[in-house]
């Protein structure tokens, strides 16, 4: 099954979470994502646009960090915001802000060759007051609920158990298992 992304980190996470079920092949394709505040709309529209260029089945993911005190920013613009602001910039925007609630959301769009099916995972949490741990993207500043105060960046491979991407991937796994090898 093909995974479409320019992000190697995402590919490695999906490969790790699906290795025992399907072989995930990485297709590095840059494509213009539609701009929308709705991650599902972005993922589905992207899959439908890419269908004429890629073998099926393939899947892609759109994800975003939604920070309550910033009106949901960066949301679907998380990749761009990370490139421009980084974790330091987000923490600067959050200086003096007591409401640190945030949510990480992942939407996977699977194109089976016949239809596009979506799987969503959302994890509530908070924004840390400082960068902690490694990882990539906003991992060092997002503290998921139930992690004993650790950021995604401090959780290591345990992150998959808590993450938005882990949740959406478990839903994808269930879908694939229910259909056997019918689509791969």
In this prediction, residue 184 carries a pLDDT of 59
What span, in angstroms and rounded, lies between the C-alpha atoms of 63 and 81?
A: 13
Catalytic residue among 62, 99, 139, 160: 62
* Class at the top of the CATH hierarchy for domain 2-178: alpha beta
- Are 121 and 106 in contact, with CB atoms under 8 Å apart? yes
Whole-model pTM over 0.85: yes
Annotated catalytic residue 62: yes
- Are 62 and 43 in contact, with CB atoms under 8 Å apart? yes
- Are 94 and 130 in contact, with CB atoms under 8 Å apart? no
- How deeply is 13 buried, as exposed, middle or buried, from its count of CB atoms within 10 A (0-12, 13-18, 19+)? buried
- Residue 56's pLDDT band (cuts 50, 70, 90): very high
CB burial string 50-61: b at 16+ within 10 A, e below: beeeeeebbbbb
In this prediction, residue 19 carries a pLDDT of 87
What phi and psi, each to the nearest 5 degrees, are found at residue 26? -90, 125
Mind listing the pLDDT tens digit for each residue in 124-142? 999 999 999 998 899 999 9
What span, in angstroms and rounded, lies between the C-alpha atoms of 125 and 141?
A: 10
Q: What is the mean pLDDT of residues 89-106?
A: 98
């Amino acid at each position: 099954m093909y995974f479409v992304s320019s992000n190697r980190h995402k590919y490695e996470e999906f490969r790790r979470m699906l290795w025992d079920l399907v072989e995930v092949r990485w297709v590095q394709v840059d494509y213009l994502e539609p701009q929308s505040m709705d991650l599902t709309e972005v993922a589905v529209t992207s899959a439908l646009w890419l269908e004429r260029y890629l073998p099926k089945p393939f899947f892609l993911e759109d994800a975003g960090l939604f920070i309550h005190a910033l009106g949901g920013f960066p949301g679907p613009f998380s990749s761009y915001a990370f490139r421009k602001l980084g974790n330091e910039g987000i923490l600067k925007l959050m200086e003096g802000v007591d409401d640190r609630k945030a949510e990480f959301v992942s939407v996977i769009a699977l194109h089976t060759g016949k239809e596009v099916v979506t799987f969503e995972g959302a994890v509530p949490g908070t924004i840390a007051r400082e960068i902690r741990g490694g990882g990539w993207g906003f991992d060092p500043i997002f503290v998921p609920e139930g992690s004993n105060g650790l950021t995604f960046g401090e959780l290591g491979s345990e992150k998959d158990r808590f993450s938005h991407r882990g949740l959406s991937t478990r839903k994808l796994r269930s879908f694939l298992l229910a259909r056997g090898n019918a689509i791969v």
